[in-house]
Amino acid sequence: MTFDISIVLPAKDEADNIETLLVDIQRVMDGKHHEIIVVDDASTDQTREVLARLRRRMPQLRVVCHQRSCGQSAAIRS
């Protein structure tokens, strides 16, 4: 499947913020053929759990998880 817009978000320890951000992005992108790719850079909080929960209700959300922290640039390249 191809999309008109791909949004890539590196994230590390963003459990308290990621849902608000993704809901806002989804609202702005409503009606546009898009995907949101969140790259979790080895978060040590509940970021992955929050993303897994959001994934069930946001079909355009893709999640990539790093097993060890690689930094923001590596997250974007992933």
β-strands 5-11, 61-66 pairing: unpaired
Residue by residue, pLDDT tens for the chain (78 residues) are: 788 999 999 999 999 999 999 999 999 999 999 999 999 999 999 999 999 999 999 999 999 999 988 888 887 888
Q: CB–CB of 42/69 below 8 Å?
A: yes
What pLDDT score does 16 carry? 98
What pLDDT score does 49 carry? 98
What pLDDT score does 35 carry? 97
CA pair distance 30, 22, nearest whole angstrom: 12
Q: What is the pTM of this model?
A: 0.89
